[in-house]
Chains A and B, each alone.
Chain A
Amino acid sequence: MIADRIPYVTSDVIVVGGGLSGVVAALAASDKGAKVTLFRHGYGRTALGGGMFSFATNHDGSVKDALKSRIAAMAKNELLPYSQMKDPLKSLRQAYKLLAAKLPADFPRDIEEDAPQLLCLSEGGALLRGDMAVPQVRSGDLARFVGGDVKIAVIGFTELPFFRPQLLKEQWLMDMHAAGIEKAEIRVFTLPMLDDGRQTFFRMYSEAARILDAMNPLGPLAERIREEIKGFRPDLVLFPPMLGLARRDAVRDMSELIGPPCAELVGGHQAVAGLRFQQLLDEILKAADVRVVTNCSLTGSVWQGKKLFRLSGLPDGEEGNSFNDDGVIYVEAKSFVLATGRFIGGGLAEDGDGVFETICMLPVTYAGKRLRGLPAIKLVERDYAAKHVMFSCGIDVNEHMQPLNVRREAAFPNLFACGDIIGGYDLVLDGCADGLALASAYISGVNAAGGEK
């Protein structure tokens, strides 16, 4: 190894991963005055999201349940990382405050007071609860109609034949009734988005979103929709999750042109909401004093004494990162934050011999049991909707968000972890993944900036 030929990146804090938790950790560390560099190699769960975020589930299903009591109930469960935190609600609020200050003005929402949860309809026919949503989704919040009536117009487009609101109507009504909306009426309107008579099908919402981005002005389309819904007089107009990708104000413009408030449904995998949110995060990083290295996979680690010393990796593409002849990059810092996610993000992987953590080879556990050496077949149930160990596992952390080694001690004093990589809970079924991502990111970011513990 010839030291002077190897490109080193040095920083106070290195954050690995650019999703929700990685960005918040970087902001928290930067806020405390540390020089932060964020590495990432692509988009993960944050960019695939449907636009709605949940911080803690409702145990009794009531809409009014305050965030405080929900978090307190979850912190009693030893498996959930909330139980490791000294004051999870405080950390969550601090993280949220930090993020909200940087988001566009129409995004944040006060979670300090005991505001009811958001209630938004999804494109899959469900009524979902959440604590935060992208503005396009949030304007479709139904919580204000609880105990009363609502008339909703759902707009389908002939170019999106896979979006079948007519069939989902009954499911939405069933859920809305259960949530306490006494009288709800849904009417579906289907019209062509393009008026040129071509038989076109969009396979992805992103294709439709790009067409809408290029549609200038929106007036003629809005005019047709207004004509369609004129007789119905809806309180809310819902669109499939595709109202513009680059054009962020499409929903607001549409509302102004049509009359009643417009919103998007919470999306599935094709939705553009997650991608929009990820792009917002990217912009926040750009504006903040954080150096971002993209298209770089960190895969190895070196430690000196007790401390983690250096990570190494390979660039994925060009992107202007000129590394040395070997193509290897070495990154050194006073402290490191892992925000690499689970399987989608690449923080965890399975190789036929069990699950492992990909950078520092930290032990992956579930309920205190190590999973290395156990084949995947032992980690899943036969019931699809059951809680599988495979999808609930991750690394363990202490109250400072330091990952634990096999002896259940902090693996390195200068290594922290946040987000999905911390295990114990199911990303889908437990409904607290986004809250844990925020809270753990804040704690690890602050601790990383504060030096060794």
Chain B
Amino acid sequence: MKEFDLLVVGGGVNGCGIARDAAKRGLKVMLVEKGDISAGTTWGSSGMIHGGIRYLFSDVGVTKLACIDSGYIQKIAPHMIFRIPFIFVLPNHTSWVHRFIIYEGASAVFETYDNFAKYKGGKPACRLTPAEVRKLEPLIREDIHGGISMDEWGIDCPRLCLANAKDAELNGAEVRTHTRLVSFIKDGSRIVGAELRNEVSGETEEVKARIVFNATGPWVPQLAALAGCEVKLRPAKGVHLVLDRRLTDYGVLCTAIDGRQMFVMPHENVSYIGTTDDDYYGDPGDIPVLEDEIAYLLQAAESYIPDVRKARVIKVLRAVRPTLFETGKYEDDLTREHQIFDHEERDGIPGFITMGGGKLASYRVMSEEAVDLVMLKLGKVNPCRSHLDPLPGGDTTPSAEALAAEFGIDPYAASRVIYRHGSWAARVLESIKTNPGDAYVVDRYEPTLAAEIRYCVRNEWVKRPSDLIRRCRVGEGADQGMASIQQATQIFAEENKLGPRETIEAADDFLQAKWFERHEALSGVGVAQEELSRMINLGCWRTAQRSRIERRLP
């Protein structure tokens, strides 16, 4: 039986962050994730390491902490950060008094926020006239009173998680994806290990751990119940719509019908409209999106960008926030603070710790705090270095032109590889030298090269081809993988030496995973796109159809 100091359960940003920090402090760590890395709440987040101007009134502490930590993340992973300037649009109210109050009030808020901006390297807020706003973003409607700009930072969340997990592995940790914790091993009341089941192969394994850390986000109550204690959360569903293009260059803050703050924001090569915030009582692994939510988000975006419906919604991001339990409050007013539950003190279960709440931007400092407690329990004192040492690939940023020339690829494709892999980019593209066919572009929307898919399958725990969605954005473009799923699956099959039946099943799994993400948002010209996609995937390739028939057979 393998023995570990720390078993981290949950491969989201917190679990990966904790595993990295602990491994760097010399602990023997194992990270288990029941699905794919970053496939839960982290995948459904806005992908911003922002300070949270929303929380300025309720939780100044959260805003400050997030701003400071955002600055650290920019230092340790500079390659995967991109700037998203925002415009707060001031509506054209009829009375000048009203206008004056809103303008001055908003300016005061943004100036307060500027006090924290220095921590995260943002530019200060700036007042804009209506003409300036329209010049920056011609899609914004004409009858406005002006705008205020501010600066935030976006990030590719799955790559952030992956870089953390990779760094943990480099520091001696074991990472297991598609592995579920099925039961705890107890010695009296103390938790001393766990039984794990590989969800792909079905094999089970027992491991010993001095501490089991529950970083499962919205699944925290379930895992706590398995350990024999109760942790209450107030989970809230958050939905984003993903548009087929970058609708704007600036994020535009909009107002929803109920007065909530919304945004239309460019993110990588698409735009996000978000976010809803509603109490959620269902299964965090199977979140339905309702037509009301889609209509609500589009209506909010329409308030300042009247032409938003001309763009196509290609998918819906959905996730559940593991917000801390509070009663008597609206969802928006719930604190975004995090809390660490020491079950030894709280419930008399030694060897088990849980973390709930928090937000993406402060994942690192939360992880630091969590590992501090683990170190205390284990009686060790090594200091945290997670804010000082760069993440894998974060040390230097190579030149895209040089890389493109070296491997004979498109400079833009090279820049995307650098964006995801930083200084490791040349390592990713290495297979082109032995196999020139790997320079081929598989997904034209990203663009993703065959070489990158091959690298990810070999080195980044891709157990199912649908994991490639998060590794290198295969199938995330406007065609949602119509032309790339089969080809990416073939590379996956080639690397894993799959037989014909397994290959068909793997492609089927990929098609189904993508369809689940977008079927609720199907509308307009997207229906014609889908009709074509079906003709190719079910007609010529006939994959899903065939494996479905075969699955029905005894």
Contacts and interface: CB of A to CB of B under 8 A. Distances in A.
Most buried by B among A45, A171, A271, A383: A171
Interface in A368-384: 375-378, 380-384
A409 B539 CA distance: 34
A385 B523 contact: no
A126 B541 contact: yes
A266 interface: yes
Given A126-B540, A203-B444, 11 more contacts: A161-B450, A174-B500, A352-B523, A355-B527, A377-B520, A378-B291, A383-B512, A385-B508, A390-B522, A428-B534, A428-B545
Contact of A122 (B500, B520, B541): B541
Interface in B465-506: 482-483, 486-487, 490, 493-494, 499-501, 503-504
A124 B486 contact: yes
A428 B524 contact: no
A352 B538 CA distance: 25
Interface string B509-524: 0011001100110111
Nearest to A352: B523
A385 B483 CA distance: 17
Contacts of B519: 377, 380-382, 384
A123 interface: yes
Contact of A124 (B501, B520, B527, B540): B540
B309 to A, nearest CB: 8
A158 interface: yes
Contact of B437 (A123, A126, A161, A385): A161
A209 interface: no
Nearest to A384: B515
Q: How large is the interface on A (under 10, 10 to 19, 20 to 34, 35 or more residues)?
A: 35 or more
Interface in A156-213: 158, 161-162, 164, 167, 170-171, 173-174, 199, 201, 203
B527 A343 contact: yes
Contacts of A427: 531, 534-535
Contacts of B540: 50, 122-124, 126, 128, 266-269, 271
B531 A376 contact: no
A349 B531 CA distance: 12
13 contacts: A50-B540, A161-B437, A164-B490, A167-B503, A201-B440, A350-B523, A377-B290, A380-B519, A382-B519, A384-B512, A385-B512, A390-B522, A428-B539
Contacts of B294: 377
A271 B541 CA distance: 13
Contacts of B536: 268-269
Given A201-B440, A344-B528, A390-B527, A377 B538 contact: no
Interface string B436-451: 1111111010000010
A286 B245 CA distance: 40
A124 B483 CA distance: 12
A351 interface: yes
A344 B533 CA distance: 11
Nearest to A353: B523
A351 B524 contact: yes
A81 interface: no
A338 interface: no
Contacts of B524: 349-352
B85 to A, nearest CB: 31
B522 A376 contact: yes
A428 B528 contact: no
Nearest to A126: B542
A126 to B, nearest CB: 4
A125 interface: yes
Contacts of A173: 500
Nearest to A375: B291
Given A171-B500, A390-B522, A201 B439 contact: yes
Interface of B: 290-291, 294, 309, 408, 436-442, 444, 450, 482-483, 486-487, 490, 493-494, 499-501, 503-504, 508, 511-512, 515-516, 519-520, 522-524, 527-528, 530-532, 534-536, 538-546, 548
A137 to B, nearest CB: 12
A406 interface: no
A390 B533 CA distance: 14
Contact of B542 (A124, A164, A174): A124
Given A126-B540, A126-B541, A382-B519, A48 B487 contact: no
Given A268-B540, A269-B483, A427-B531, A171 B494 contact: no
A377 B546 contact: no
B527 A350 contact: yes
A120 to B, nearest CB: 11
Contacts of B539: 50, 268, 428
Interface string A15-39: 0000000000000000000000000
Contacts of A352: 309, 523-524
B494 A164 contact: yes
Nearest to A385: B544
Given A342-B531, A382-B516, A391-B534, A199 B545 contact: no
Contacts of B516: 382
Contacts of B504: 171
Interface in A261-296: 266-271
Contacts of A122: 540-542
Contact of B439 (A171, A199, A268, A382): A199
Contact of A380 (B437, B500, B522): B522
Contacts of B527: 343, 349-350, 355, 376, 390
Contact of B532 (A162, A344, A355, A385): A344
A429 interface: yes
A427 B530 CA distance: 12
Contact of A377 (B499, B508, B512, B522): B522
Contact of A125 (B483, B500, B544): B500
B538 A428 contact: yes
A162 B531 contact: no
Contacts of A201: 437, 439-441
